[in-house]
Structure 1
Amino acid sequence: MTKTKATLIGFTAIAMWSLLALFTIGSAPVPPLLLNALCFGIGGAIGLIWTATGAGLAVLKTVSWKVYAFGTLGLFGYHLLYFTAFRLSPTAETGLIAYLWPLFIVLLSGLLPGEKLGLFHIIGALIAFAGAALIVLARGGDAQGSALGLGLAFLCAVTWTLYSVLSRRLGTVPTESVTVFCLATALLSAIAHIALETTTWPQGPLGWASVAALGIGPVGAAFFTWDIGMKKGDIQLLGVASYAAPLLSTLALVAAGITKPSSAILLAAVLITAGAALAAKAGSGKAQTASAKKG
């Protein structure tokens, strides 16, 4: 698989995550951990079907338990920290801190073997972050934030950054392993739900359809395509492009009539597009340099 193809596949994860808010609203009033269990269960089931009809389930036996532990901690840990942070501090600042992970991915990617972090990567990431900040801060919050909630949001961003960047170091591990990550996360989420939440099931066809859509896309297939992008694609470009998710998410809510359009959305679109363009330019220059050295 070429780097360009892997990057394009990684982009589909960002596109799917842009529908996360819309489908989550439709799934109300299902509590977060139960929603997590249902969605990751669906995603894991789809992964089993994909693996069985492709590489075969036997490929899952070739993966070390350490890799499975790493992946499960990444997915479950991120979502547990994310949900807990917003319970303690349901504010825009919490969302903004939690969304530091694309910037962290760009910065840490320079430490990976064979990767070089350029000035345009950093500038592009900062510009895109400013665009995402406009979107997140414009949404506001329902209450005053707590220091603990903000701290957990920061740990949330660090967790997803490490999961994504270290996935690059597991390039030889088949993406089918994400199936086990999802199923294990579903199991842990179910246990946590029983211990911490009151069970409330989806209401009506719309509620169940929203849960199914989440499991198929944003909390399912997206983790498989993200894995491919992180392992074989342009990690810096994917990091910067991830800031398009909150913008696309807001546009989806506007299209659904849930959120009103505003000048902040337009300005955010300009900033995020400019940031991604700078990162793409840096990636193109890096590729040309590498090609010239080979020649």
Structure 2
Amino acid sequence: MKTTERKADLLALGAIAMWASLAALGVSLAHVPPFLLTGLGLLVGSALALPLSRFKLSAWQVPLPTLALGVYGLFGFHLLLFVALRTAPALQANLINYLWPLGMVVLAPLLLPGLRWRAAQIGAALLGFAGAAVLILGRGGPGGALDGGWHPGYALALGSALVWSTYSLATRRVPAFPTCAVGSFAAVSGLLSLGCHALWEPAVALNARDLALIAALGLGPLGGAFFLWDAALKAGDPRRIGLLAFLTPLLSTAVVMATTGQALSASLILGGLMIVGAAIWGSREPAA
């Protein structure tokens, strides 16, 4: 494995590890309206760009189209996902949303020059999504079976998946920008999220514990993860990184089970084997 590929893998795994804590933190902050939670978390996360830019705000500046792409990714993803979770069964909407790693693998050759489809990577992506389905549906319990009805929220969940996969790929199509500029993406997206909170959600009072957990959310899954993800995409093959991303629901489920004291489930074991197998299978294919 090349040094750059190893670096990209480690950066991506760092982001994935942070995203794995999102569900557990979300459970602890379930009483906080989602747009308020996201807005505050993103604003906290944006502050991480200060040390990265050596406290020079000028380093955050990017061309307007690049800023629009960043807001499209960070704000658009969360907006569509939250509305989807409110208008459709959460279990199914969450599963549809996890099509985004598959989208990265499938769309990479269409959006990025020099890449092409490889059978092993497509097959591994499908296996990874199947593993995610086993995890998410198994976690839903007896009431988590898929129903046959159509919900408009499913289209929104699919939209959120498409937004994140295309954002992740399109960051390599715009003029090069420093990773610290992700702070501007997060800051604008955080303010827009707070605007959504003011329009659609009730006001709530936050205590010291809430603020501490929101700070952890901003430093991790709603902040640090985005910087690591951007650095990984700059250094590595997005198809390979997309396959690694299927580890997110696996690690997230494992963290929730550990923090809530749940016993190891068959769905976690089976889904985990499928996802890890997909990552190994896809990574064995030589890069284009």
Q: TM-score, normalised by structure 2?
A: 0.91
| 1:215-294 matches, cutoff 5 A | 215-257=218-260, 259-282=262-285, 285-286=286-287
Distance 1:247 1:201, change over 3 A: farther
* In structure 1, distance between residues paired with 2:219 and 2:63: 26
Shift of 1:258: 5.1
* In structure 2, distance between residues paired with 1:191 and 1:286: 43
Considering fraction of residues, name the structure with more helix. Answer: 1
Aligned with 1:286: secondary structure? coil
Which residue identity does 2:31 align to in structure 1? P
* In structure 2, distance between residues paired with 1:260 and 1:47: 39
Shift of 1:204: 4.9
Distance 1:225 1:91, change over 3 A: same
* In structure 2, distance between residues paired with 1:167 and 1:260: 40
Which residue matches 1:293?
none
Unaligned runs of 5+ in 1: 288-295
Which residue identity does 2:95 align to in structure 1? L
Give aligned pairs, total: 281
* In structure 2, distance between residues paired with 1:202 and 1:249: 25
Superposed CA offset, 1:105-130 (max 9, x none): 00111221122321110111111111
1:174 and 2:173 matched: no
Percent identity of paired positions between Structure 1 and Structure 2 = 38
Which residue matches 1:292?
none
1:191 and 2:195 matched: yes
Which residue matches 2:119?
119
Q: TM-score, normalised by structure 1?
A: 0.89
8 Å Cα contact 1:27-1:208 kept in structure 2: no
Kindly report the root-mean-square deviation, in angstroms, between the aligned alpha carbons of the 2 structures. Answer: 1.9
8 Å Cα contact 1:101-1:161 kept in structure 2: yes
Shift of 1:46: 1.8
| 1:127-142 matches, cutoff 5 A | 127-140=127-140
| 1:83-162 matches, cutoff 5 A | 83-111=82-110, 112-140=112-140, 147-162=151-166
Which residue matches 1:163?
167
8 Å Cα contact 2:60-2:182 kept in structure 1: no
Which residue matches 2:18?
16
* In structure 2, distance between residues paired with 1:146 and 1:204: 41
Shift of 1:278: 0.8
* In structure 1, distance between residues paired with 2:181 and 2:46: 10
8 Å Cα contact 1:168-1:232 kept in structure 2: no
Shift of 1:176: 1.5
Shift of 1:259: 3.8
